[in-house]
Amino acid sequence: MNAVSRTPAALLQAALAADPGRPLVTFYDDATGERVELSVATFSNWVSKTANLLQGELNAEPGDRVAVLLPAHWQTAVWLLACSSVGVVAEVGGDPARADLVVSGPDGLDAARACSGERVALALRPLGGRFPQPPEGFLDYAVEVPSQGDRFVSFSPIDPGDLALVVGGREWTGAEVVEAAVADAPGLGLTGSGSRVLSGLPYDSWHGLSAGLLAPLAGGGSVVLCRNLGLLDEEALAKRVESERVTAIAR
């Protein structure tokens, strides 16, 4: 870990500087057959665009709380790093009624309507596709994000000691997130660019978030993030492990 990488967003910037072309997130949805692979550079570009959307269009400020009603998905990973970039608090599964903003997938839209602030909906369709009909009262992420800038500069410095994440009933500062992710990486076999962990865990716990994004980022490896992994039998899982050169499994 770079000495100055004390927030998740800073970890991403360090990874971008070190090796922008290496894979970071390979996503599968075994209910749809979708596969998406994002290099550090491509992932960082999505994060920058999303952070610009948050800061510029949605007027999010450091300390604001974003209820994240999303499954383990590559776009969820983007949102979590975008929140860190802006300095807003990502509350995974948070109460929309108490949040300043909410970002939701199709399954959470009814609950998300309780938020009195800005609401963003993600269709979670293959290749980041938009809703056929945008949900009333929501911005469609897939419509709004492409026009955002490819570079992001925060209006305010991000303090690693500030609250950054709420998950599984615990609050984490940016520095605590990084420290825990760095500590988790060796146990997941994440020791460099060739290490790849396959995770079928949801993002509703620290363990799921760490294995599915943060530890690979901190450890210089990558994640094969699988949604609906339970639909695979053991033979199909073994083939994926082989084809994706997986070095460890978290499930």
DSSP code of residue 14: H
Q: What is the pLDDT of residues 160-188, one digit of tens each?
A: 999 999 999 999 999 999 999 999 999 99
- Residue 1 has what pLDDT? 43
| pLDDT of 2 higher than 70 | no
User: pLDDT (tens digit, 9 = 90+) per residue, 189-241?
Assistant: 998 888 999 999 999 999 999 999 999 999 999 999 999 999 999 999 999 99
The neighbour count for residue 134, using CB atoms within 10 Å, is 14
What are the residue ranges spanned by the domains of the chain? 8-250
CB contact burial 2-39 (16+ within 10 A = b; e otherwise) = eeebbbbbbbbbbbbeeeeebbbbbbbbbeeebebbbb
What is the average per-residue pLDDT within 75-84?
98
What pLDDT is stored for residue 4 in this prediction? Answer: 53
Distance, CA of 104 to CA of 35 (rounded, Å) = 21
**pTM > 0.95:** yes
Q: Among the listed ranges 110-114, 122-126, 189-193, which one has the minimum average pLDDT value? A: 189-193
The two three-digit tokens of residue 78, written as one number:
């983007």
CATH number of 8-250: 3.40.50.12780
Q: What separation in angstroms does the CA of 94 have from each of 32, 41, 79, 110, 218?
A: 27, 29, 14, 14, 25
Average pLDDT score over the chain: 96
